[in-house]
Structure 1
Amino acid sequence: MCKAWPSVNSQEMLTAGLLLISGIKSSTFPAFYFPVENIESFVNVHPLHDMSLQAFTLCFWAKAQHAGSQTVLSYSTQERDNELVMTVGTDVGLWIGGHFISFPLYHQAQGWLHYCTAWTSQSGMTNFWLNGAAGKAKSVQKGYVSQAGGTLVLGKARDTLLGTFSNGFTGWMTHVNLWSQVLSPADVRALALCKPGQLQGDIIAWGETPMTLLGGVVLESDTSCQ
């Protein structure tokens, strides 16, 4: 049974200087709700390790409130806005080091969906899974290493030059984890099936990584695995 979490508005969070960091188990940690009416809502993430990556896997549950392209995660540096960006919508888009690829979605995104994407610099191979089912692999940015020292956010794309955010996500997001390695297909399926003893990322660990909620993002009960 999910615990009922009170809504917390951004002003309360900012005034109290709170970060979302806790000893709460990830299985009971609340979901983030990004309201439709507030285009300024996003979450600042303070990664556990630097973002100089030669490989990664990003997994999360999302329940979007409209079908257009929406940014789930955005990592930008002073040199490049699209260092690592993932979007969902009618397809899944992925930016790595300023280069873009997309994966078609043959699914109506009306309820909770589990997304995973993985990339390795060694081969440039990029894999995508929806609800544990693998899509066709693609190649991008072979030999690339992402730059450290940037800004990591959930729910918005960041324009470093203008200092603005755009392409916002609306809806619910939970169990966001980022690893500095490629997970096995079996591990991805276990995450999608909500099996006990869930793996947690070493860069973003859901329920442990410090995060700051801004612009009206609130905490709501996580219903993704029900």
Structure 2
Amino acid sequence: MPCGGGDPITGPTPRALGSAPGRPRATALQPCDSVKSHPHRCQRMGLGDGDPLPHTHPPHKPSVRTQSYASTMGTAPMWLIVLSAVTAVMGQEDLYRKVFVFREDPSHAYVLLQARPEHPMLNFTVCLRSYTDLTRPHSLFSYATKAQDNEILLFKPKPGEYRFYVGGKYVTFRVPENRGEWEHVCASWESGSGIAEFWLNGRPWPRKGLQKGYEVGNEAVVMLGQEQDAYGGGFDVYNSFTGEMADVYLWDAGLSPDKMRSAYLALRLPPALLAWGRLRYEAKGDVVVKPRLREALGA
């Protein structure tokens, strides 16, 4: 897993399909001591509704336990399987007061989402709500292009920490550890200023700089529950999500503070590329749609 400090200069070279799995790869703007299990990833410095200085580490041999899920899929490449699903017609459903339940730990399951911006994005906001007791790393929202598997990624490496990736680089937001409650997060980014915003449960965290002048590709595979280490695949099940997820949105614009709070409160939101009330999706593996538990959200 990548880490380091300084201004971002270059992004990582995309890994070929079938290479060693692991946690998300990037050039980051933070110290390497937060990730100890994958030192070989710390190779560069850089950083609702709703730049690298060389720093080489010894090679790391992944254990059998952390094999890529893609290697277990037989002779058919994972990217072909996923892209076949993406090109299929996805059903649209109103998921009001419903959740996705990812039942296994670790999980092979994921949910494919249909979102295709008309043009590369210079601004965007992603919001979602999650409920889990996981203490291991896990992916929440993964948006991968052929050029960059971590084009947009919301990743939680451990309790009390979120990582927000844009174009393979990330910033870290440290938050209070969860005490068995739902967490609502919104992450927003604008290319012109390179400003990244992070909101937790309706409250903003200090803004940080990330990928000024970058463009987010518009041809992407978008999914919940797995972190893509290749376009549409390269999964590591020990980065998978287990628990419940709801209220997923993606806008090709930044949201105002009022709209960020509205997303947290599940109020009326502007039209979105992905909207929970009319979500086009396909569930793959052991993930089911169930009614939301009102008491879990404090509703």
Bin the TM-score by the shorter chain: 0.7 to 0.9
1: CA distance, partners of 2:231 / 2:290: 33
Normalized per residue, the structure richer in helix is 2
CA contact (8 A) 1:76 1:160 kept: yes
Aligned partner of 1:157 in structure 2 is 227
Among residues 96, 100, 114, which one is paired with 1:27 in the alignment?
A: 96
Equivalent in the alignment of 1:115: 185
Q: Find the residue that maps to 1:159 and give its secondary structure.
A: coil
Q: Which amino acid aligns with 2:273?
A: I
Pairing of 1:14-93 with structure 2 (within 5 A): 19-22=90-93, 24=94, 26-28=95-97, 30-37=98-105, 39-50=107-118, 52-88=120-156, 89-90=158-159, 91-93=161-163
Query: In structure 2, what residue type is equivalent to 1:211?
Result: Y
Question: How much does 1:71 deviate?
Answer: 0.7
Partner of 1:9: none
C-alpha displacement of 1:221: 1.1
Q: Give unpaired runs (5+ residues) of structure 1.
A: 1-13
Correspondence 1:5-20 to 2 at 5 A = 19-20=90-91
Which of 1 and 2 has higher RCO (CA within 8 Å, sep 6+)?
A: 1
Q: Select 1:180's aligned residue among 238, 252, 263.
A: 252
8 Å CA contact 1:21–1:207 kept in 2: the answer is no
> 1:58/1:163 Cα in 2 relative to 1: closer, same or farther (>3 Å)?
closer
Are 1:146 and 2:216 an aligned pair? yes
Asked which structure has the greater CA Rg, the reply is 2
Contact 2:109 2:284 in 1 (8 A): yes
Q: Which runs of 5+ in 2 are unaligned?
A: 1-84
> TM-score, length-normalised on structure 2?
0.64
Q: CA 1:176/1:200 → structure 2, altered by over 3 Å: closer, same or farther?
A: farther
Fraction of identical pairs, as percent: 28
Matched residue type, 1:40: H
Q: By how many angstroms is 1:154 displaced?
A: 0.8
Q: Secondary structure at the match of 2:228?
A: strand
The two structures have a TM-score, normalised by structure 1, of 0.83
